[in-house]
A and B are shown apart, each in its own frame.
Chain A
């Protein structure tokens, strides 16, 4: 394109990170070998990988680049120091103990029961400053794209690949396609990052990003704080994407400064200088590009059993366009033509790697403050990490939740995946700040409506799905 034809071709953020981490370029026969800067590990997708290493007599190549925590199978109920955690099943206990043994044997840092940084893997990586711009990051978990919010290239991988990275610190990958989603303009007051990403997925579909690394850009993305950017990148997989990312900027640097694992002093300045180069050049090529009007985004909820069924909370549920839509409507017991607002709610879940950070809890607390959870509704507030929980308690948010009648839990994945005992019952309607509304995701037969922390909190108070704008004025004491 350039008239001189001699300048280096403009590259996207994704291409820069891809090129920088090539141990071996791809050939027709073999995928590229990418070096991985940070490998996050949790109890569910790692045991079989450690077993393979043991069978083959291999050691973990870079324990210093590997970081583990326990989150999926862990109970969120209180227990006294020295007591055995109240695991839902023996299998859950065994799984956690297996990770404890594996990390100990291999010299890997584990943020386990005694750590002030235990928590959902995608919450603690950034919180510790282990997640940094320019890195390649993987985890045996599809929501690893969360870390892309820091200008990192972060992939969710399978357990076999967890083994590959443990043994060699490398991942085999064909170069994905690239896609840029520009969210331009200003969002209306009270619209959160969750509403933005639900609107994006509704626009492009559950397979709209398949095969792609998505870069989110535009004024509405730049305006988001880091928690909001993580919420957006987190749900990239819900559009089928391999990864999602946002270029690092002043907001990123300010958030990271002073965290445990980031450089300090003169090294910090050098790091920021290097990080500042990780952004897409003007004219960089993207295989696909989409622009979304931020000003049109309303508080979103899902009506179906796939995350691309987001609609404005007061908008009518659309007519079934396909057999799977009809099946979803039937499962959800929703009627086309009626809005989701007004639907009676049984449980509310505020938590998960999508929405369990401090700003999420503040948004929920702002709605619940001085109000009561509706009779018959169970509301669970599950902070993303021990540190988030401590911060919330320092701000008095726990009092607000408890006085409103919500349950203030210990950190973990909890009802996002319902494998630790926290779950919905058949037929129950759950308004959830998590990322998946698949059939049975939150318990067999449980029906999930995905929403923002404000919308979820409002549902808890009203006892039915409701536009949170109606509760955004403080309650009268």
Chain B
């Protein structure tokens, strides 16, 4: 189970690119795993390693300290493509706790929130500011649905209330669903 998420103060890591698809986040050939553990080393694999699997030196993701940089900022339509939950698993295991983009693909957003990765859609102005100011300290307050950008503007973000609840509790919704078994039985009969 992911950790509970309340507030996070962290520096941002910016990938200035739109339409980052799940094949970039974790290439399909690594999906033969049967567990969800240890996928962080495969996050953005083909950007980070050469064809012999050697880490590329000039790629900043390879030297990124996720102790200080837990917020990924990227361009529009982040996480498009496949429904693979391996994508948020890999990002979480890599050390990211939140993703900020001007638009986040539906399935990825829903998968993230179940795995401790807070998906934040920023309004255009704040998003532009974040893209233009890489590596800044920000504060995310999930309860308040607010991001403070230090010396930039702060902004409010929307998050589906149940997803927010699960992120704050560090639970997934399975317990909620199994508790509704009477309603399910009633529907079935």
B residues within 8 A CB of A31? 160, 162
**Complex interface: chain B residues within 8 A of A426 (CB):** 51
CB-defined interface of B91-104 with A at 8 Å, one 1/0 digit per residue?
A: 00000000000010
Closest chain-B Cβ to A421's Cβ sits at a distance in Å of: 9
The smallest C-beta distance from B151 to any residue of chain A, in angstroms, reads 26
Q: Which single residue of chain B is at the shortest CB-CB distance from A156?
A: B83
Q: How far is the CA of A141 from the CA of B85 in the complex (A)?
A: 10
User: What CA separation (Å) do A95 and B35 show in the bound complex?
Assistant: 10
Shortest beta-carbon distance, A55 to chain B, in Å?
10
Interface size counted on chain B using CB atoms at 8 A: 51
The reply to whether A158 and B184 contact each other, CB–CB distance below 8 Å, is no
Query: A170 to chain B: which residues have CB within 8 Å?
Result: 177, 180, 184
Mark B105-142 against chain A: 1 for CB-CB distance below 8 A, else 0.
11100110011000000000000000000000000000
B148 within 8 A of A: no
- The reply to whether A206 and B19 form a contact with Cβ atoms under 8 Å apart is yes
Q: Helix, strand, loop or mixed for chain B's interface?
A: loop
Nearest-CB residue, chain B, relative to A444: B46
Bound together, the chains give a CA A142 to CA B28 distance in angstroms of: 13
CB neighbours (8 Å) of B115 from chain A are 160
Q: Which of B35, B84, B183 contacts A33 (CB 8 A)?
A: B183
- The listed residue (A24, A48, A140, A436) touching B83 by CB distance below 8 A is A140
Residue of B nearest to A168 (CB): B177
| Assembled-state Cα–Cα distance A141/B31 (Å) | 13
Would A207 and B76 count as touching, CB distance under 8 A?
A: yes
- Contact call B162/A172, Cβ cutoff below 8 A: yes
Q: Given the known inter-chain contacts A142-B83, A439-B24, please indicate yes or no for A240 contacting B177, CB distance below 8 A.
A: no
- Asked if B27 is at the interface (CB within 8 A of a chain A CB), the reply is yes
Given contacts A168-B181, A439-B23, contact A52 B77 (CB under 8 A): no
Chain B's closest residue to A166 (CB) is B174
Asked if A473 lies at the interface with its beta carbon under 8 angstroms from chain B, I say: no
Chain B residue contacts of A58, Cβ below 8 A: 178
Contact A156 B107, beta carbon cutoff 8 Å:
yes
Closest Cβ–Cβ distance, residue A289 to chain B (whole Å)? 20
B85 cross-chain contacts in A, Cβ below 8 A: 45, 48, 158-160
Quote the shortest CB–CB distance from B73 to chain A (angstroms). 15
Instruction: State which of B81, B106, B111 has its C-beta within 8 Å of the C-beta of A438.
Output: B81
* Other 18 A-B pairs with CB < 8 A, given A168-B174, A170-B180, A210-B106: A28-B161, A35-B188, A48-B36, A52-B174, A95-B32, A141-B83, A158-B111, A160-B174, A169-B188, A172-B173, A237-B81, A237-B107, A324-B17, A324-B75, A419-B28, A419-B29, A419-B31, A419-B32
Cross-chain pairs A/B with CB under 8 angstroms, 13 sampled = A30-B176, A158-B107, A160-B174, A164-B177, A168-B177, A172-B177, A206-B80, A207-B103, A210-B77, A210-B103, A242-B107, A306-B19, A445-B51
